[in-house]
Amino acid sequence: MAFLVHDARHLERPARPFGGGSERSRAGRRLWRVDLLQAAAVASVAVAIALFLAEGGITRFADPGSALTSLGIIAGLAATDLVLVMLLLAARVPLIERAVGHDAAMALHNRLGKPVLSLLLAHGVLLLAGYAIADGVDLVAEAVAIWNLPDLPLAILGFGLFLAVVVSSLVAVRRKLRYEVWHVIHLLVYVAVLAALPHQFSVGGLFAVGTWQWAYWLVITFGTFAAVVGYRVVAPVVASLRHGLVVERIDPVGDQRDGVVSVTMRGRRLAALRATGGQFFIWRFLAAGQWWQAHPYSLSAAPRGDRLRITVRALGDGSASLAGIRPGTRVALEGPYGIFSEASRSRRRLTLVAAGIGVTPIRSLLESATFRPGEATVVLRTQGPAEGWLLDEVRDLCHRRGATLITVPGGRGRGWLTPSAERQGLDLPALVPAVADSDLYVCGPRGWAEGVISEARAAGLTDEQIHHERFDW
Ligand SMILES: Cc1cc2nc3c(=O)[nH]c(=O)nc-3n(C[C@H](O)[C@H](O)[C@H](O)COP(=O)(O)OP(=O)(O)OC[C@H]3O[C@@H](n4cnc5c(N)ncnc54)[C@H](O)[C@@H]3O)c2cc1C
């Protein structure tokens, strides 16, 4: 059996015509905000360079020594500005989280690391060469002279720390580090930015006290730090105290040996969190041996009244320890995050595809998403026809809401389907004929999800229709 259709009573009902407040216009507004944020990031680099060019303009490039020095300063200004952009992308600023989404913001944050490092290197090398030509000395003599400039050793320490952060984030290195070790190294980036700050004001005279350049630079630097402290420290502490979340019960899911549990938590005024199905929080269970680690888990049920629920597969120490957590344990939370939710809808129809523990956000999204009977299809890759974590709940929800449920049971094939499905030439459009006119939400192991997404693209889905939640940061 290549696939199993559990409930298709309303299969292929025509989608409604779009009204004024349609999903498409909501998606359009979100993408417009993304464009605006991107433009702001590019503009901030342009302003950083303009700060320098406004004082002296073309005359700053009059001779080779000055030209190299000017290029070095421009590289340093652009790099510092981009580091601030990186910090903002990781600061969980609600405007960024809701428009760009956590995954995309962190992906951009990661992509900027290496170019910024190159700019910082260029900053050092160009300034050294420029100063050496201007002073008529060799590079070694100039390096010694520069070392004695005010605050320079501190700036070089900052560069060393930034280098450590970028190297620790290279895929090959990161795989070898425990998440917590990598995280502590990553926090050094804040020390790096602060260590580099004094030399920006004391060397070169660009940011002389009282100038508009000085005021602008102080505002963007301390504004960024305020956002980081506000959204990553103060807001989670306030939310955790306000909502007073405690573990209510732990329920095993499926076979005990799978190590999957659902954790139901109870709290106060949870509606104020404005969390919806498909989103995730970063959770910290305040029990002995666990309080020091925080983990991201998606909601596996839509928030209801004073309760939140997650479903967790034991994949390491932190997730495995949840099975032993006692009811009554206090829980600190950070979020909600992510736009794997209604927030990124662009079509009336929905196609939800999950494998393994990736079913969690799909299950809660199915519960809270807006659709009429016949407009949603859920495809679950499972091991056996009646297996799959939360399968009973998904089946029940599909039945109640009039969604079609298809399970594709069996071992791994070459793509995202099973060998028998592949032999029959099945693919995403064959399973979900209306997929090209739907929003596709995919959650599961990385290679598997890429298989689903590439078939979706081949079927004509655009970026605004494809939504992918990754569990592997
Ligand atoms: C947005 C998102 C939603 C998720 N939702 C679920 C869910 O609903 N159910 C579920 O079972 N799993 C979910 N995960 C995966 C879950 O967070 C990890 O399995 C868990 O953090 C592993 O921690 P560990 O100590 O058990 O294992 P470890 O051995 O420490 O780590 C195993 C893997 O998880 C990563 N990891 C560990 N800690 C963190 C952290 N704090 N932040 C990010 N990655 C980390 C590590 O880099 C490693 O790749 C989600 C992950 C993300 C990013």
Q: Give the residue-averaged pLDDT of 269-273.
A: 96
Residue 254, pLDDT score: 87
Atom of ligand 1 nearest to the CA of 102: 1
- At 332 the pLDDT is 97
Segment 305-333 shows an average pLDDT of: 93
How many CA atoms, within 13 angstroms, populate the side-chain half-sphere of residue 133?
13
Could you tell me which residue, 57 or 61, shows the higher pLDDT? Answer: 61
Write down the pLDDT at residue 20. Answer: 40
pLDDT digits (tens, 9 = 90+) for 216-266: 999 999 999 999 999 999 999 999 999 999 999 999 998 877 899 999 999
Q: In angstroms, what is the span from residue 361 Cα to ligand 1's centroid?
A: 14
Specify the pLDDT at position 347. 93
Q: Pocket residues for ligand 1 (CB within 6 Å)? A: 179, 280, 294-298, 310-313, 315-319, 357, 360, 471-473
SS3 label, residue 467 = strand
Q: Of all protein residues, whose CA lies closest to atom 41 belonging to ligand 1? A: 295
Atom of ligand 1 nearest to the CA of 293: 41
Q: For the segment 435-445, what is each residue's pLDDT rounded down to a tens digit? A: 999 999 999 99
Give the pLDDT confidence score for residue 120 in this predicted structure: 96
The CATH class, in words, for 244-337 is: mainly beta
Helix, strand or coil for residue 261? strand
pLDDT given for residue 60 in this prediction: 81
With a cut of 80, say whether residue 215 has pLDDT above it. Answer: yes
Domain residue spans of the chain: 4-19+343-469, 23-239, 244-337
Predicted pLDDT of residue 21: 52
- Rounded to 5 degrees, φ, ψ at 300 are -100, 0
CA atoms within 13 A on the CB side of 223: 11
Task: Identify the pLDDT of residue 206.
Answer: 84
* Average pLDDT value over all residues in the chain: 91
Cα–ligand 1 centroid distance for 271 (angstroms): 26
| C-alpha torsion sign, points 119, 123, 129, 130 | positive
Helices (H) and strands (E) in the chain, counts: 16, 12
In the block, tokens 């909502």 appear at 243
User: Which are the contacts of 371, defined by CB distance < 8 A and separation ≥ 6?
Assistant: 348, 349, 350, 401, 403
Mean pLDDT of 72-100: 95
Among the residues of 369-445, which ranges form H helices?
391-401, 419-423, 428-431
CATH topology of domain 4-19+343-469: Rossmann fold (3.40.50)
- Model confidence at 103, pLDDT cuts 50, 70, 90, reads confident
Name, in order, each residue with C-beta under 8 angstroms of 299's C-beta and a sequence gap of 6 or more.
275, 277, 278, 279, 280, 281, 308, 309, 310, 336, 360, 361, 364
11: confidence class by pLDDT, cuts 50, 70, 90:
low
Our measurement of the distance from residue 96's CA atom to the centroid of its chain's CA atoms, rounded to an integer in Å, reads: 10
Angle at 382 between CA 434 and CA 399, to 5 degrees: 55
pLDDT band at 339 (very low <50, low <70, confident <90, very high): very high
- The whole-number pLDDT of residue 18 equals 44
Ligand 1 atom closest to Cα of 315? 26
Q: Which residues have CB under 8 Å from 235's CB, separation 6+?
A: 92, 334
Q: What is the mean pLDDT of residues 50-68?
A: 87
pLDDT in tens, 12-44: 555 555 444 567 777 778 888 889 999 999 999
**What are the pLDDT digits (tens) for 71-84?**
999 999 999 999 99
**Helix H or strand E encompassing 296:** strand 295-298
